[in-house]
């Protein structure tokens, strides 16, 4: 649906609930819970990775303000946001700041994405942010961000598995209905085996997502489970939606067919909220270190 149910009430609210000052929490959390305000994170940067070293936007202390200069990409729903939560690097390390998108020096440019969703490039040129709008202590921003991302990864994984299930269902129905050579195309071994592989991967991904969500609910460590769930679920969604396009043939590429929408969104989910490379690094670090 065309609303920010992940970026605002999960990511932004999670950051404020975990590290916000009492004044920040009192001002924004009730509004977020009521759906009366939108806060979105601005964290990815051009040509930088998903990890903490990818945050290079400059935060320069200047009296009772901090001056932000740099660029963020793939910021969801930025034009509708009341505030941006911007990650920036200052002498103490990565910190988080509340930034008014209408402030002097902030430029929003809508990006044309393969997913046809609402993402923006944010350019900040000497944007002054009051000290009161820093979230948490200086240099603690990445730890706060990553803690919230553990929840986010599980939810994106659930989203991807749900989309894979929906795509598989519409593809299976089409394979039953579409006839070629006087019989349903689903009766051909090449297509039936693709569908069999797809539903197997979906069920495996669903178990992994449920395990990660259950562990999180039980207060257990999901440092490994959350990246595993997101990595496997988004790849499964990519594979299943790719098969859907092939089974539907030329019709699968048209906007009248839902297969193309799932196919395009699947790639966006795979790249956003930690890409595969960073997820693999997180899993490997837990396994090897």
Which residues are registered as beta bridge partners of 70? 124
Which residues are registered as beta bridge partners of 277? none
Taken in order of first residue, the domains within the chain and their CATH numbers are: 7-139 (2.40.110.10), 144-288 (1.20.140.10)
Say how far apart CA 230 and CA 209 lie, in whole Å: 8
The closest of 112, 111, 107, 101 to 122, measured between CA atoms, is 107
141: Cα separation from own chain's centroid: 18
Per-residue pLDDT tens over the stretch 182-228: 999 888 998 999 999 999 999 999 999 999 999 999 999 999 999 99
Per-residue pLDDT tens over the stretch 44-73: 999 888 999 999 999 999 999 999 999 999
pLDDT confidence of residue 91:
93
User: Region 251-255: what's the mean pLDDT?
Assistant: 86
Query: What is the full DSSP assignment across 46-76?
Result: TT--SSGGG---EEEEETTEEEEEEEEEEEE
Per-residue pLDDT tens over the stretch 260-284: 999 999 999 999 999 999 999 999 9
pLDDT confidence of residue 199:
97
Per-residue pLDDT tens over the stretch 13-48: 999 999 999 999 999 999 999 999 999 999 999 988
| β-strands 83-90, 39-42 pairing | parallel
State yes or no: pLDDT of 1 exceeds 70: no
The three-class DSSP label of residue 224 is coil
């Amino acid at each position: 649906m065309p609303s920010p149910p992940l970026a605002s009430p999960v990511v932004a609210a999670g950051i404020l609930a975990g590290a916000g000052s009492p004044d920040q929490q009192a001002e924004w959390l009730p509004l977020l819970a009521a759906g009366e305000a939108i806060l979105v994170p601005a964290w990815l940067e051009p040509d930088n990775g998903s990890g903490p070293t990818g945050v290079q936007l400059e935060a320069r202390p200047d009296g009772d303000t901090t001056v932000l200069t740099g660029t963020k990409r793939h910021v969801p729903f930025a034009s509708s946001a009341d505030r941006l939560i911007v990650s920036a690097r200052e002498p103490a390390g990565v910190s988080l700041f509340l930034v008014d998108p209408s402030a002097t020096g902030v430029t929003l440019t809508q990006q044309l994405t393969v997913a046809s969703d609402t993402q923006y490039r944010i350019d900040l040129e000497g944007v002054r942010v009051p000290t009161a709008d820093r979230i948490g202590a200086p240099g603690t921003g990445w730890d706060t961000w990553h803690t919230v991302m553990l929840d986010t990864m599980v939810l994106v994984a659930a989203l991807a598995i749900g989309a894979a299930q929906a795509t598989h269902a519409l593809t299976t129905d089409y394979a039953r209905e579409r006839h070629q050579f006087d019989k349903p195309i689903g009766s051909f071994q090449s297509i039936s085996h693709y569908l069999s592989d797809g539903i197997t991967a979906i069920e495996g991904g669903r178990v992994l997502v449920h395990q990660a969500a259950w562990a999180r609910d039980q207060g257990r460590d999901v440092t490994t489970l959350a990246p595993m769930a997101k990595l496997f679920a988004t790849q499964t969604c990519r594979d299943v939606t790719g098969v859907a396009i092939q089974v539907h043939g030329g019709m699968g590429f048209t906007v009248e067919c839902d297969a193309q929408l799932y196919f395009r969104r699947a790639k966006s989910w795979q790249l956003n909220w930690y890409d595969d490379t960073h997820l693999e690094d997180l899993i490997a670090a837990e396994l090897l270190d």
